[in-house]
Amino acid sequence: MHTRLILIIIVVSLAFLGCQSDGAGSGRDNNLTEDFFPIGNFIESQLRNLDTLPLAVIKYRTISGITDTTVVEKGEFRKLSEGFMAPDIASPELHNRYTETSFIDATLGTLTLTYTARDQDLLIRRADVLLNEEKGDVQSVYIEKAIEDKDSTVIEKILWTRDRNCQVSELHRYNNRPEQVVVTRYVWDDRE
């Protein structure tokens, strides 16, 4: 009887301590000792890789259901992509203004790192990095920005799919005018 009581106390104590600890799949608040995933470095490496390939970058721009297709020079695409890398949320001045959470999806074998702005006045409101859990390779990066002006707001959603394409969806909200959605897709490898 006495042994059973001690065993129950130990099990309850361990369960209580387990509930207080931060589990592997739970979200966690960032602190300055943790590093954020270097999203800008990933995009830069993708651009360097693209420069070595004999592939054209095809731009598909859709406004009000009408799509225009053009070829974009790699230099022009590089300049445009610099906007995806700024501002750098991992920089010391912005690092503590974001919260990092992680989620492991065992079914898909992926790990998602999510960075959420603590303040809604920041340009980048959210960023997600989808990693292959086994290899650690990036599968995609999602960035959501809000650009506010006195008479308009643009919500920009960027999805960069590794070694394939980049899609930018923009929702333009104007005072006294209807909303407009613009979807621009840059494709350099359209294999499925």
Confidence (pLDDT) at 192: 64
3-state secondary structure of 168: strand
Residue 22's pLDDT band (cuts 50, 70, 90):
very low
Rounded to an integer, the average pLDDT of 79-108 is 91
The yes-or-no verdict on residue 27 having pLDDT over 80 is no
> Which run of H or of E encompasses 166?
strand 165-174
Q: Three-state SS across 113-133? A: EEEEECCCCCCEEEEEEEEEC
Confidence (pLDDT) at 3: 41
Confidence (pLDDT) at 2: 41
Chain position carrying tokens 């992680």: 102
The yes-or-no verdict on residue 26 having pLDDT over 60 is no
Is residue 92 assigned to a domain?
yes
What range defines the domain where residue 173 resides? 33-187
Helices (H) and strands (E) in the chain, counts: 4, 9
Is residue 16 assigned to a domain?
no
How many separate domains does the chain show?
1
51-76 pLDDT, tens digit per residue, is 999 999 999 999 989 999 999 999 99
Confidence (pLDDT) at 34: 67
Rounded to an integer, the average pLDDT of 84-100 is 89
Is residue 178 assigned to a domain?
yes
User: For the chain, what is the largest distance between any 2 Cα atoms, rounded to a whole number of angstroms?
Assistant: 81
Whether 89 and 95 have beta carbons less than 8 Å apart is answered as yes
Give the strands of the sheet with 110-117, arranged side by side.
66-72, 57-63, 180-187, 165-174, 152-161, 138-148, 124-132, 110-117, 98-105
- Give the list of residues 6+ apart from residue 185 with CB closer than 8 angstroms, or none: 59, 60, 61, 62, 165, 166, 167, 168
Is residue 108 assigned to a domain?
yes
DSSP 25: T
pLDDT-wise least confident of 2-11, 95-104, 162-171: 2-11
**When comparing pLDDT for 99 and 84, which is higher?**
99
The yes-or-no verdict on residue 28 having pLDDT over 80 is no
The yes-or-no verdict on residue 4 having pLDDT over 70 is no
Is residue 19 assigned to a domain?
no
Spatial CA neighbour of 81 closest among 89, 92, 90, 72: 72
Is residue 104 assigned to a domain?
yes
Confidence (pLDDT) at 154: 93
Is residue 15 assigned to a domain?
no
Is residue 13 assigned to a domain?
no
